[in-house]
Amino acid sequence: MEITSATSAKATYVKGLDDEEEENEEQEVQEEQEPAVTSKEEGDQVSFASEDLDESTVNDKVTGFVQNLIAASNITDASREQLQRYLDTFDVAKFIKDYGPFESVRDISAAMYAVTSGLIKYKEQEE
């Protein structure tokens, strides 16, 4: 009884898997290297899949973001007051002008993090 045929069949199968993985990796690298636009002719226009978020949406997301920070149990009372004051005086048009335009909620969150990071102090930091 000879086992080499089973072993060589398994080795051939494994080699086939390795070859497929290499081909997939080469294809991914090639796709990454290809430019998104191959040629640009006069009249070509760039269009985006999503439009900029409007003032109402930005205002809602900012309000939710700040309210979540205010609700955090580990921030100081002074931080809560500063955040509430910011929310009370929030000007959505100025915010969009300074940090926008926003194409996603992630953009709004990043801007809000930048704005509020200086307002927040944690109870652990006071001790």
Q: How far apart are CA 99 and CA 102, in angstroms?
A: 8
Residue 4 has pLDDT above 80, yes or no: no
Q: How confident is the model at residue 37 (pLDDT cuts 50, 70, 90)?
A: very low
Q: Which of 50, 32, 47 is nearest to 106 (CA)?
A: 50
Residue 121 has pLDDT above 70, yes or no: yes
Q: How far apart are CA 20 and CA 14, in angstroms?
A: 10
The predicted-structure confidence for 59-89, as pLDDT tens digits, reads as follows 999 999 999 998 887 889 999 999 999 999 9
* pLDDT score of 73: 79
The predicted-structure confidence for 20-29, as pLDDT tens digits, reads as follows 666 656 666 5
Q: Give the mean pLDDT of 88-94.
A: 92
Q: Which residue has the tokens 């060589």?
A: 8
Q: Give the mean pLDDT of 41-63.
A: 67
* pLDDT score of 50: 47
Q: How confident is the model at residue 120 (pLDDT cuts 50, 70, 90)?
A: confident
Q: Which of 47, 46, 90, 40 is nearest to 65 (CA)?
A: 90
